[in-house]
């Protein structure tokens, strides 16, 4: 199965049929401009060269792991077929007049994978590479993730193929509002509740909530990840990173690693990466390498995560950070020697051509689908412990759940209450997955998928949906 998935694919930039598809960094005629037909060409998203990514799509990665777990669970083919496709897939046009005075048409998506356990839940991504295949994969991942941490939600995801870094704030606002206008019919606090993801943040959630409110009346529970001033939850911004760190702390015990003594590398210094780094540093750990889309830096002496976060908040990039670390090739970040490597950027960045170079004892997946199945297999053979995305980065959706609960009750929790409850849920989920992995003698990822799938299948069949 692993070979089938990867062998059919070639590395980015090496189409088996020749270079017919525009390659990353080789923007097509409409690259990111959003004129007319939805632009499906590969696009250059930032000015500096980005590290290589696998050609295995996010969808193939999620399908691979679903297939492995379904086989072990002996899920009948007809039942598995229900989960191999989505309940609902909405694709809309998002026309927006930009600063050049022209109307640009972006493509927007909302995919609801499965709602057996409750309302659909999942982020909204603004990124030029967003397409239906990716959104589908991320929606399915949310179904298993919410089940693994035992939240009363189904799985969904959405996105718009726009590059927010190239737009003015009022243009991003126009994209958000236009997108909400097109998809509001399938959303709502008891139907589907979006949250932030790559390229979106609390401000974007505020615009989405406001737009939804124009049509339905003030409804704070219609999105999560909102600013505190608009009934967002204390602790939501740091929640995914905090969850990553809880999982790391539990997993470290299993490999006799003292968190205070550990050295870590973070790939992607956005919401998830920067919070993970700051919270790891607060435990006493040392960041020895870090990257963003602009470049990578590394030093054995350590990079101050708080100072780097401040530098990025002020508009700086990781590559330009003057904190005593030397710039390295982004592709070499994976080879930096450390105890823990934390991918917190995009999918498929640890693949069969760089997995063998990794020089860590543990990977804690802050990003969604960062590791391809082939890379996972190589790393397992090398003895690297992997904490899978569906468990490790669930902290965000856990606190999104808390935000939704608070909004429905019009009652506020303080940050300590949020953080304590988050810790309890993450630790419980870790141990449920770890017990299963031990019992079945498998790594954590198959155990996590099995747990999630079992819970969703039970809910779907008890409802009479399957």
Catalytic center residues: 157
- List binders of ligand NAD among 83-102 (CB under 6 A): none
Q: Which residue is nearest to ligand NAD (CB)?
A: 270
Name which of 19, 70, 60 is nearest 375 in CA terms.
60
Residue 374 engages ligand NAD in binding (rule: CB under 6 A): no
Using CB under 6 A, pick the residue from 112, 224, 271, 354 that binds ligand NAD.
271
**Cβ nearer to ligand NAD, comparing 276 with 442:** 276
Residue 292 engages ligand NAD in binding (rule: CB under 6 A): yes
Contacts (Cβ under 8 Å, ≥6 apart) of 144: 66, 155, 390, 448, 449, 452, 453, 456
- Say whether 323 sits in a helix, a strand or coil: coil
- List binders of ligand NAD among 20-79 (CB under 6 A): 50-51
User: Minimum CB separation from ligand NAD for residue 78, in Å?
Assistant: 31
Question: What does each C-alpha distance from 32 to 95, 131, 166, 298, 388 come to in angstroms?
Answer: 13, 13, 9, 31, 32
User: Minimum CB separation from ligand NAD for residue 293, in Å?
Assistant: 4
**CA pair distance 455, 117, nearest whole angstrom:** 8
Using CB under 6 A, pick the residue from 272, 334, 342, 418 that binds ligand NAD.
272
- List binders of ligand NAD among 122-161 (CB under 6 A): none
Beta strands (DSSP E) in 262-367 are 263-267, 286-292, 295-298, 326-328, 340-343, 362-364
Using CB under 6 A, pick the residue from 57, 146, 276, 368 that binds ligand NAD.
368
Binding mask 294-313 for ligand NAD (x = CB under 6 A): --------------------
- List binders of ligand NAD among 232-251 (CB under 6 A): 240
H or E element, residue 443: none
Using CB under 6 A, pick the residue from 268, 348, 388, 452 that binds ligand NAD.
268
Q: Which two tokens stand for residue 154?
A: 């189904």
- Say whether 380 sits in a helix, a strand or coil: helix
**Cβ nearer to ligand NAD, comparing 6 with 276:** 276
Using CB under 6 A, pick the residue from 374, 393, 406, 442 that binds ligand NAD.
393
Residue 199 engages ligand NAD in binding (rule: CB under 6 A): yes
**CA pair distance 390, 368, nearest whole angstrom:** 8
User: Minimum CB separation from ligand NAD for residue 37, in Å?
Assistant: 25
Contacts (Cβ under 8 Å, ≥6 apart) of 411: none
User: Minimum CB separation from ligand NAD for residue 199, in Å?
Assistant: 5
Strand partners, 263: 286
Q: Which two tokens stand for residue 257?
A: 């690693």
Q: What are phi and psi of 360, to 5 degrees?
A: -135, 165
**CA pair distance 420, 53, nearest whole angstrom:** 36
- Say whether 385 sits in a helix, a strand or coil: strand
Residue 276 engages ligand NAD in binding (rule: CB under 6 A): no
CB 234 within 8 A of CB 413: yes
Using CB under 6 A, pick the residue from 112, 161, 291, 419 that binds ligand NAD.
291
User: Minimum CB separation from ligand NAD for residue 34, in Å?
Assistant: 19
> How many residues of this chain interact with ligand NAD, rule: CB under 6 A?
26
User: Minimum CB separation from ligand NAD for residue 42, in Å?
Assistant: 13
**CA pair distance 77, 31, nearest whole angstrom:** 41
CB 118 within 8 A of CB 153: yes
| Interface ranges with ligand NAD (CB under 6 A) | 50-51, 196-199, 240, 267-273, 291-293, 330, 344-346, 366-368, 393, 396
């Amino acid at each position: 199965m692993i070979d089938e998935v990867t062998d059919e694919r070639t590395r980015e930039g090496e189409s088996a049929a020749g270079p017919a598809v525009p390659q990353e960094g080789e923007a097509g005629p409409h690259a990111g401009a959003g004129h007319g037909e939805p632009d499906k060409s590969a696009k250059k998203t930032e000015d500096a060269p980005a590290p290589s990514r696998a050609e295995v799509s996010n969808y193939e990665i999620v399908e691979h792991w679903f297939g492995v777990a379904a086989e072990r669970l002996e899920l009948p083919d007809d039942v598995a077929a229900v989960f191999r496709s989505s309940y609902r897939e909405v694709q809309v046009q998002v026309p927006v007049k930009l600063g050049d005075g022209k109307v640009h048409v972006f493509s927007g998506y909302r995919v609801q994978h499965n709602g057996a356990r409750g309302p659909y839940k999942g982020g909204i991504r603004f990124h030029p590479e967003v397409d239906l295949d990716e959104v589908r994969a991320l929606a399915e991942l949310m179904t298993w993730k919410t089940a693994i941490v035992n939240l009363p939600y189904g799985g969904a995801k959405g996105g718009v193929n726009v590059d927010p870094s190239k737009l003015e704030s009022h243009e991003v606002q126009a994209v958000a509002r236009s997108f909400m206008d097109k998809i509001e019919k399938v959303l709502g606090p008891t139907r589907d509740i979006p949250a932030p993801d790559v390229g979106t943040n609390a401000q974007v959630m505020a615009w989405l909530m406001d737009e939804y409110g124009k049509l339905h009346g003030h409804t704070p529970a219609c999105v999560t990840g909102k600013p505190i001033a608009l009934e967002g939850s204390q602790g939501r911004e740091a929640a995914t990173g905090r969850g990553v760190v809880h999982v790391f702390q539990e997993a470290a015990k299993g490999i006799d690693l003292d968190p205070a003594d550990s050295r870590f590398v973070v790939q992607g210094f956005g919401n998830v990466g920067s919070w993970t780094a700051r919270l790891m540093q607060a435990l006493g750990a040392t960041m020895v390498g870090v990257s963003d889309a602009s470049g990578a830096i590394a030093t054995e002496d350590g990079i101050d995560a708080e100072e780097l976060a401040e530098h990025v908040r002020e508009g700086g990039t990781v590559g330009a950070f003057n904190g005593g670390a030397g710039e390295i090739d982004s592709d070499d970040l994976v080879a930096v020697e450390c105890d823990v490597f934390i991918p917190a950027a995009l999918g498929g960045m640890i693949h069969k051509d760089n997995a063998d170079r990794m020089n860590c004892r543990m990977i804690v997946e802050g990003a969604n689908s960062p590791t391809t199945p082939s890379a996972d297999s190589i790393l397992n053979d090398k003895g690297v412990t992997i904490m899978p995305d569906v468990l490790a980065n669930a902290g965000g959706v856990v606190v999104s759940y808390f935000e939704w609960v608070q909004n429905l009750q019009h009652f506020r929790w303080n940050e300590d209450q949020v953080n304590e409850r988050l810790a309890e849920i993450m630790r419980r989920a870790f141990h449920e997955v770890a017990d299963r992995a031990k019992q079945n003698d498998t790594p954590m990822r198959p155990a996590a998928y099995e747990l999630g799938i079992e819970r969703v299948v039970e809910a779907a069949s008890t409802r009479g949906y399957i």
